[in-house]
Structure 1
């Protein structure tokens, strides 16, 4: 059985036709049919306060781009907190969320969310040895990365990261990934 949870969103902007004939609404509806894994991108800002601060955001535009060297890319809204932080802080992490981590995904996806200082308050994590970023406990896979390249395109920045460490935590072998499809988180059930 497939469980779904709606993602909290703001009101959709008015449809804007493009010269090529595709409106924002048409484009959004078409791409919502592409299922995506849900990743929590995190970073530690050592310059924010006496002990620094952690930041995180839910992403579904994440993929591998190279095996040699090992590279991944994440798409961030240009000017977002995470985009600005990764422009200054080159080390970050990506935790690929499991189906039972819907609450975590939703919390970090909210617009106008709670402050960064409270964001991780009841989210179990360990600190990455290489990145210093929070690595989410229970995630299917955790990567620590260093930014290799930033490409600003349209209203997003593509951040290409070299994978410095990769781990598959024990006990996550029989847990399915959290997916995002047609505007909702999807719990796919047992994998295998």
Structure 2
């Protein structure tokens, strides 16, 4: 029997903690009410057609609710939205307890009121990948109000805000 090659889960996670990632909250409704979670795995996949992807760990109690929905809203968080990132990353709470913090789009998806950049998508594919599910979403619509907005990123278990400084090559 061949020896399994690769790194263990803790080594893998420790290595990726040093790679910053944008922060998003994914919301959906599978028919049992609104559900949502914080994700740092959102990536643009294709411009034509417009596709994005994110992964959901099987350890998340919210993941089955998002996976059971036909559509979702991916909220891309900015500097002023770290509270949302923390709330939607906290287990065992009602993340939608404050009725003033969210509403529904005309199509039914839960929308976080204070987030100014979001994408509505149809869940096109779900692919089991190890202990996670990779979700491919076809983007059906977007909303952008990015004036004076600095993105929120996550690195080594800490939230950071990207400023306006750029590295010039």
Flag whether TM exceeds 0.5 (same fold): yes
Question: TM class, shorter-chain normalised?
Answer: 0.7 to 0.9
On the 8 A contact 2:27/2:36 being kept in 1, the answer is yes
- Number of residue equivalences: 163
Match of 2:122 in 1: 146
| Runs of at least 4 residues off by over 6 Å | none
1:83-94 aligned at under 5 Å gives the runs 83-94=63-74
Residues 173 and 78 of structure 1: is their aligned pair in 2 closer, same or farther, counting only changes over 3 Å?
Answer: same
Residues 54 and 149 of structure 1: is their aligned pair in 2 closer, same or farther, counting only changes over 3 Å?
Answer: same
More off after superposition, 98-107 vs 55-64:
98-107
How far 1:21 sits from its partner (Å)? 4.7
On the 8 A contact 1:175/1:190 being kept in 2, the answer is no
The secondary structure found in structure 2 opposite 1:41 is: strand
Match of 1:100 in 2: 80
Among residues 22, 26, 32, which one is paired with 2:7 in the alignment?
22
How far 1:120 sits from its partner (Å)? 1.6
Match of 2:42 in 1: 62
Deviations 1:154-178 (A, max 9, x none): 0000010100110113xx4112111
How far 1:80 sits from its partner (Å)? 3.5
1:1-192 aligned at under 5 Å gives the runs 19-46=4-31, 48=32, 53-78=33-58, 80-111=60-91, 113-114=92-93, 118-122=94-98, 124-130=101-107, 132-169=108-145, 172-189=146-163
Q: What is the RMSD of the two structures over their aligned residues, measured on CA atoms?
A: 2.1
The TM-score with structure 1 as length reference comes to: 0.76
- Name the CA distance, whole Å, in 1 between partners of 2:143 and 2:153: 20
- Name the CA distance, whole Å, in 2 between partners of 1:191 and 1:150: 37
The secondary structure found in structure 2 opposite 1:119 is: coil
